[in-house]
Amino acid sequence: MSPADIDVVICTHLHLDHCGWLFDLAGRPVFPRAHLWFGAADWQHFVLDPRSRMLDHIRQGMLTTDGARVHLVSHDTTVVPGVDVTMTPGHTPGHLSVVVSSGVHRALLLGDAITCPVQLDEPTWHAMGDVDPQLAARVRERLFRELEAENTYGAGAHFPELRFGRVLTGELRRWIG
């Protein structure tokens, strides 16, 4: 498989560590056929706002990508059967998480909505990059409840060893990876 074979790329948000690999230094797409999915509010915040810290070659690449291949998400939606995105703002204005499902089984790809499992014990701890820490905390609480469901597993982009786990309910929530 080559980069030209990739037809869908979902970015949970537009911080450089999550999208900086979409374009080369000349602003050419690394995945020339891919449809790009990300939050509409992130497009406004990072791509259209010249004060943002978006690198010029990435901004240029995004602005010159065929508009039919750029999908700006502003509500929960299906990308392809079995792959949905759900809005999880707070870390960034348009942050989204990816839900991969098959039958009763679900995997939540959390991006940076939850940056570390210790946030179960300390729900008010937020990431330095959270643009709205209070909203991010409410979104984390919602995601923790979802991760308590049977047959639901999750992984955050910066979790230790990037292992999937789930939340066990009880007197204290516990992350089991």
Q: Do residues 9 and 37 touch, judged by C-beta distance below 8 A?
A: yes
Q: Which residue has the tokens 């990508």?
A: 65
What's the chain's average pLDDT? 93
Report the C-alpha gap between 128 and 140 in whole angstroms. 15
Domains and CATH numbers, the chain: 3-176 (3.60.15.10)
| Token duo for residue 16 | 């450089």
Q: Do residues 93 and 130 touch, judged by C-beta distance below 8 A?
A: no
What local confidence, expressed as pLDDT, does residue 171 receive?
Answer: 62
Check whether 100 has a pLDDT greater than 90. Answer: yes
Q: What is the mean pLDDT of residues 111-116?
A: 93
- The better pLDDT of the pair 176, 131 is held by 131
Q: What is the mean pLDDT of residues 84-89?
A: 98
What local confidence, expressed as pLDDT, does residue 86 receive?
Answer: 98
- The better pLDDT of the pair 28, 119 is held by 28
pTM (two decimals): 0.92
